[in-house]
A and B are shown apart, each in its own frame.
Chain A
Amino acid sequence: MSAPAARDPGLQPERTSLSWGRTLLALFAADLLIWRSWAVAASQGSAVPKTGPEAGPAARGWAGAATPDFLGVCALAATVATVVLCLCVAVRVRQLRHSSYAPPSSLMRWSAAGVVVLGLSSVAAVALGP
């Protein structure tokens, strides 16, 4: 099939670009909640003993017998997913500016994989976290 006309009357490429942007915005909202939860948990962990008589900072969990910082892992996963999706959006929006063909599969795979990693790390944070 030949390349579409210079301007699609239904503005489909523009809608698709906006849809990518919307998805990135949704991920930013998720980031805010996750980073906030992590910060709150870290500050509470350093102030209040959680498990034992003197179980202290959440950070000590890495070295000690307490649970590791799964919310921290979740925050890291959120950051990685955001960087990956930012790159995907940048590439795709640039492509959509001058062509309307389907995206490469790798782009879709990467953006889905970022969300999957975020999902799995939040399962860990919910199930194993404090």
Chain B
Amino acid sequence: MREPAWRKTGSTPDYRFSLANETTFLAWIRTSLALIVGALAIDQLFPEIAPAPLRIAMCVALAVIGALLAVLAYRRWGQMEEAMRQNRELPFSGVMLVMTIGVAAAAFILAVLLLAAR
């Protein structure tokens, strides 16, 4: 497969920064996997946690966010690597804020559902 164009620009960054970028990518991939597995686990193991439409909507949202996060992980890895090659400031990303709000909302809804199920 072809290497993207930015690979030929700028200079090779300190290898420690590159490796840190790589481990960050992998951490996002694991987060993405956790969301996908969480969605499937709720849907398959605890089908009675909520009425079907709500459960399906929640699980689909979690799994879609998981898939999206894997795409963003790759995109962000490339952006970071490019910025480091150009010696530019690292790009800001809204992913953290969206993820924080999203995961907090999911946890809140789950807590309400678990309490209501009692």
Scoring A1, A115, A125 by chain B CB atoms within 10 A of each residue's CB, the highest score goes to A115
* A88 CB to nearest chain B CB (Å): 10
B74: chain A residues within 8 A (beta carbon):
108-109, 112
Minimum C-beta distance from B21 to chain A (A) = 7
Contact B40 A116 (CB under 8 A): no
DSSP class of A's interface residues: helix, strand, loop or mixed? helix
Interface residues on A, range: 35 or more
Main SS of chain B's interface residues?
Answer: helix
| A15 and B60 contact, CB distance less than 8 A | no
Interface string of B6-18 (1 = CB under 8 A from A): 0100011111101
Chain A residues with CB under 8 Å of B25's CB are: 108, 112
Say yes or no: B33 contacts A27, CB within 8 Å.
yes
Residues of chain B touching chain A, judged by Cβ–Cβ distance below 8 Å, are: 1, 3-4, 7, 11-16, 18-23, 25-27, 29-30, 32-34, 36-37, 39-41, 43-45, 56, 59-60, 63-64, 66-68, 70-71, 73-74, 77-78, 81
20 contacts between A and B (CB under 8 A): A1-B11, A1-B14, A12-B19, A30-B40, A33-B41, A40-B44, A74-B40, A100-B15, A101-B12, A104-B3, A108-B78, A111-B29, A112-B29, A116-B67, A119-B64, A119-B66, A119-B70, A123-B67, A126-B40, A126-B56
